[in-house]
Structure 1
Amino acid sequence: MNIWKRHPSFGSRLVANGEYFHIRCGVPILNLVVHEGLKAIDGSLVRIGESVKYVRVSNARMLKFASCLEELFYVTC
């Protein structure tokens, strides 16, 4: 609990400097924040997964993807 109070992201934002903040209450709140963040990026994650599946299905696509990586980032696959 003290770690949360001292953390720059949380400590200054806690009501009454975290005097009445209990870990029992903090965990569900953190869980809600994480779930909301995941909802915000859910569509992007699905599209990334579908793109990976599309590339992995075909050897030709895999080779083309590797070629693009080499051109863009000088990475050898």
Structure 2
Amino acid sequence: MIGDHLAQHRELSLTAIGLATYIQSLPEGAPVDIRTLAEKFPEGRERVATALRALEAYGYIERVRERTDNGKLVTVT
């Protein structure tokens, strides 16, 4: 169930609210990176990235940068 604090957040776009709702519906450990989300929805990479940044700024998600075993830097949500 989505909380009123998210559904009625005046500073978040509808894209961000919808994306947060989708992320909440996913099972633990499901991929929620920009590329995967942009492939799932028509908004595209830039709007998905903007929505994720907004959700992070307001504390709805946490994102950290990590280095993979092959040295590639990735963001984990």
Q: TM-score normalised to the size of structure 1?
A: 0.26
Higher Cα Rg: structure 1 or 2?
Answer: 1
Bigger proportion of residues as helix: 1
Bigger proportion of residues as strand: 2
